[in-house]
Structure 1
Amino acid sequence: MKSFSNKKVIPGYRFTCGITFFYLSLILLIPLAAFVLYTAGMGWEKFLAVVLDYRVFHAYYISLLTALAAAVINGVFGLLLAWVLVRYDFFGKRLLDGLIDLPFALPTAVAGIALTTLYAENGWLGQYLYALGIPSAFSPLGITLAMVFVGLPFVARSVQPVLRDLDPQVEEAAALLGAGDWLTFRRVIFPELVSPLLTGFSLSFARGVGEYGSVVFIAGNLPYETEIAPLLIMAKLEQFDYQAAAAIALVLLLLSFAILLVINGYQRYRVQKQGV
């Protein structure tokens, strides 16, 4: 029987690989390299002076903290949403399934205005939260809510197909062996969902860190309180201080890349461990 190597599965392997690497270089690698080289031109002293400024450091803190909180919330409720859509049939299911993708299609500025109107002190939901002493707008909570809104589809759509493709016979076997619902979920179902959950978590976190349009309206943009790093980058650009904006963006890029690298590394470790 004739064997085929993996590289020959797609016709024109060298040509397609060349086109792929050229496209990635043109769209991703070359702009990033130019971005890094442009930042390097400002010198270490000026670079450190910009990125270690307390206002900039606090903007990093707010962006990363709220993005992480939003990703965790999306991880929990994205899993629940995917579970309901896959395991249950109810009236309006298709409509709900379609609404999940709304943050992808909705302009971010529209989402920001809608969320601000909803969670402002006199908004439909904000009036009740403010009555409880919880400022839902122009606060880190408001920023987190905006990031939850734009990041939820990443988790739900990552988990949904994996949950749909799980073999029901495995659950039936666990039930026949005496396992209850919670034990079956914890020992049989959830381990299969860890990888897609981590993928959705990573995508949600990355979207939150770089989110601007839907956050800028509800954040309030108060220095040392609710100012996010993307807003500070825009402020530097408006002042024509392009090198400072590039320096702030570079550090944000490196921080995000480091966190995503850790998450993906753990995900790869789990895959390798399960394959042993």
Structure 2
Amino acid sequence: MVSAFAARRRTLPGFGLTMGLTLSWLSVIILIPLAGLFLKSLELSPEQFWTILSGRRTLNALRVSFGLAFAAACVNLVMGSIIVWALVRYRFPGRRLFDAIVDVPFALPTAVAGVALTALFAEKGWLGAPLAALGIKVAFTPAGIFVAMIFIGIPFVVRTVQPVLQDLDPEIEEAAGSLGASRWQTVIRVILPSLAPALLTGFALAFARAVGEYGSVIFIAGNLPNVSEIAPLLIVIRLSEFRYADATAIAMVMLVVSFVIIFAVNRLQRWAQSRIPAR
């Protein structure tokens, strides 16, 4: 009894205070704005809501945003894992520099990233010119959106998986090899199960960032309705047209779909974590 009381006294600032501050801060910053959006959407009748969402331009904008964000997150999941493996498992000249470069999309203003990518992949850009010679156009097409989403999402996978791989003892891989496991068997049965929760978390973060990305995308997208127009841009357009109901409906759909996908990924993450054998 005395030890439990002493443990509570040693805990500063205390559970009650920290929990109260946590709930208050989350409510002000996250829950209240989201609740406001939800209540605003209730002003629309089901018929009005469906009419707004079933419009061709709205459906195409949502398809572009979610489809390309998912594809970009998948690419980042694979390439980010390879980058992490190289940075953690090998020592080579310039490794610290490459490790720092990964954080550039975090620090770079999104508008600057968009302008840089547009200049690079334009038809007369350093990469755009040789691609254009091959008949491949990136800037001002959905492909440009895809490239921008990969650019802003890669650090989320790398920085999520990197500390987990650093804590994974290489001796486990050596033990698997000494027991007769091939390299692929070691990767699939030993390494991936341990990294699966972090990989899923990085995927969810990269996907969520790509879905809501605006600044770096609009410069390279071309913003053609029904072709390369993203949902966040359509929301801004509807607001500028004083069509608040349309903007609210689109934002509500993005919120619900993003929440469902992230919730599903988190459930998969917990399932994968529960299957990791205790050490």
2:200 to 188, 198, 220: 198
| Of 240, 243, 251, the match for 1:241 | 243
Contact 2:200–2:268 under 8 Å retained in 1: no
Q: Which amino acid aligns with 2:57?
A: R
Determine which of 137, 159, 162 is the counterpart of 2:161: 159
Deviates more, 1:40-49 or 1:8-17: 8-17
Structure 2: distance between partners of 1:10 and 1:90: 44
**2: distance between equivalents of 1:269 and 1:254?**
22
What CA distance in whole angstroms lies between the structure 2 residues aligned with 1:10 and 1:32?
33
Partner of 1:174: 176
CA separation in 2, counterparts of 1:243 and 1:110? 32
Q: Does the CA contact (< 8 Å) of 2:193 and 2:272 recur in 1?
A: no
* Aligned pairs, number: 275
Paired residue secondary structure (2:223): coil
- 1:114 Cα deviation (Å)? 0.4
Aligned partners of 1:241, 1:72: CA distance in 2, in Å? Answer: 34
CA deviations over 1:203-222 (Å, ceiling 9, x no partner): 00000000000000111011
For the Cα contact (< 8 Å) 2:115–2:219, is it kept in 1? yes
Deviations 1:73-94 (A, max 9, x none): 1001100111111111111111
Q: Distance in 1 between matches of 2:277 and 2:192?
A: 17
Supply the AA of the counterpart residue of 1:232. Answer: L
CA spacing shift, 1:67–1:4, aligned 2, 3 Å:
farther
- Distance in structure 1 (CA, Å) of the matches to 2:26 and 2:11: 19
The separation in 2 between residues aligned to 1:46 and 1:190, in whole angstroms, is 47
Sequence identity percentage = 52
Structure 1 unmatched runs, 5+: none
The aligned counterpart of 1:120 is 122
Cα RMSD, aligned residues only:
1.9
| Cα separation, 2, equivalents of 1:175 and 1:235 | 58
Shift of residue 117, structure 1, vs aligned partner: 0.6
Deviations 1:186-243 (A, max 9, x none): 2211211111111000000000000000000111011111111001001011112222
Q: 8 Å contact 2:84–2:158 — kept in the other structure? A: yes
Q: Does 1:26 align with 2:25?
A: no
CA distance 1:242–1:183, shift in 2 (3 Å): same
Q: Are 2:127 and 1:93 aligned?
A: no
Unpaired stretches in structure 2, ≥5 consecutive residues: none
Q: Equivalent residue for 1:138?
A: 140
Aligned to 1:270: 272
Runs of 4 or more off by more than 6 Å in structure 1? none
- TM-score, length basis structure 1: 0.94
Deviation, 1:269, is 1.8
